[in-house]
Amino acid sequence: MSVEGLRVMGIDPGLTRCGLSIVQAGRGRSVLPVVVGVAKTPVGAPLPQRLSQLSHDVSQWMDEYHPDVVAIERVFERGNVSTVMNTAHAVGVLMLAAAERGIEVYQYTPSEVKKSISGNGRADKKQMIAMVTRILALAEPPHPADAADAFALAICHCWRAPMIARQEAIAHRVAASAAKSK
Amino acid sequence: MSVEGLRVMGIDPGLTRCGLSIVQAGRGRSVLPVVVGVAKTPVGAPLPQRLSQLSHDVSQWMDEYHPDVVAIERVFERGNVSTVMNTAHAVGVLMLAAAERGIEVYQYTPSEVKKSISGNGRADKKQMIAMVTRILALAEPPHPADAADAFALAICHCWRAPMIARQEAIAHRVAASAAKSK
């Protein structure tokens, strides 16, 4: 199944820095970069105001670039507790922005993304930046450097989308034939 | 400092069941119940849709009851990882709804609430329900039972609000006199 033309927004969630990217699936496994950036909110500001600012910035991206799908990193309980919780709060707001626009959301773990992009679930930051630069045929590595993860998430979804579409088609056929035989 | 008339929304955050309450501060330490309930979202539905439904339900409460302040339970990393993450995503959406309406948000840990209401940071569910019923002078315990936590959070804020107001007034005076002496 071809997903050519599919427009994917990759989100590396965070409250202080949130990586955002837009890519478009091309022929075969080719992926075209559209835009990449980072949405920031001030560390000292109250949490509700930071979430509101993030929601506003991400909504603007969605309304400007009209992605078909959002691919977002799944948050894990590792590292600093308050950072993890802030990131999880941010994910809630990011998913809400997508849901309000009818944009489908897929979540990927960091190792799923690494494995998909580099073949190695434990690839380091440098390898990932090199792979993203090569896949998107960029003249130089993405800037800012932490925006590379947002690109990687979007590429990961482009490459998985045909398989997801096949699985959904099979599930749909199974459900339809089960309904028919009733 | 009196907080008489202050209208507080207590939120016991959750994605499957989210406890909601509204109380109003009376004279001294008296607190008057206004309404209590639970916002639910279907377990099997996609996460973004569940967050969207929760956002819609809580926004309706805020627009109907016009709380001055939201008191919400602080999420901790305990129990089932995916439940904790879902609750943290829900908190992001709840805080956003408050921020969009200019409603201030305060977070309290479960032990802060228990200590404030019962004098014991480790009070059990039964003790908490009994205390909430007595403080609000309810004819019978709050229904549903898990809505009692939402009442407890709101009462906790009513009782802490005078101290918070005093601290903010002092901080304001200190800042003003520092600005004057420049």
Query: In the structure, what pLDDT confidence band is assigned to residue B81 with cuts at 50, 70 and 90?
Result: confident
Torsion sign over Cα B114, B9, B75, B109: negative
Residue B30's domain comprises 7-180
Neighbours of B87 (CB within 10 A): 23
Q: For chain B, what's the residue count?
A: 182
Q: With an 8 Å Cβ cutoff, are B49 and A100 in contact?
A: no
Q: With an 8 Å Cβ cutoff, are B96 and A100 in contact?
A: no
Chain A CB contacts of B81 under 8 Å are 76-77
- Residues B57, B105: Cα–Cα separation, whole Å: 18
- Residues B75, B46: Cα–Cα separation, whole Å: 22
> What single letter denotes the amino acid at residue B38?
V
Q: Is residue A132 part of a domain?
A: yes
Torsion sign over Cα B124, B127, B130, B132: negative
Q: Is residue B1 part of a domain?
A: no
Chain A CB contacts of B100 under 8 Å are 52
Structural contact between residues B140 and B36, judged by C-beta atoms closer than 8 angstroms: no
Nearest residue on chain A to B51, alpha-carbon basis: A96
> Quick one: how many helices (H) and strands (E) in chain B?
5, 5
What is the full DSSP assignment across B39-81?
EE--TTS-HHHHHHHHHHHHHHHHHHH--SEEEEEPP-S-S-H
The token pair that represents B80 in the structure block: 């089932």
Q: Is residue B145 part of a domain?
A: yes
Considering all CA atoms of chain B, what is the largest pairwise distance in Å, rounded to the nearest integer?
61
pLDDT tens for A88-107 read 999 999 999 999 999 999 99
pLDDT of residue B107: 96
pLDDT in tens, chain A (182 residues): 678 999 999 999 999 999 999 999 999 999 999 999 999 999 999 999 999 999 999 999 999 999 999 999 998 766 677 889 999 999 999 999 999 999 999 999 999 999 999 999 999 999 999 999 999 999 999 988 788 999 999 999 999 988 888 888 888 888 888 888 76
Q: How far is CA B87 from CA A51, A177, B154, in A?
A: 16, 37, 19
Torsion sign over Cα B123, B125, B129, B132: positive
Q: Is residue B2 part of a domain?
A: no
Structural contact between residues B146 and B12, judged by C-beta atoms closer than 8 angstroms: yes
Q: Is residue A2 part of a domain?
A: no
Q: With an 8 Å Cβ cutoff, are A85 and B96 in contact?
A: no
Q: In chain A, how many domains are there?
A: 1
Q: Is residue A1 part of a domain?
A: no
Kindly name the residue from B64, B77, B104, B146 that is annotated as catalytic. Answer: B146
**Catalytic residue flag (residue B12):** yes
Q: With an 8 Å Cβ cutoff, are B99 and A48 in contact?
A: yes
The token pair that represents A154 in the structure block: 């979007």
pLDDT tens for B120-173 read 999 999 999 999 999 999 999 998 878 899 999 999 999 998 888 888 888 888
Q: Which CATH number is A102's domain given? A: 3.30.420.10
Q: Is residue A161 part of a domain?
A: yes
Q: Is residue B87 part of a domain?
A: yes
Chain B CB contacts of A85 under 8 Å are 75, 77, 88
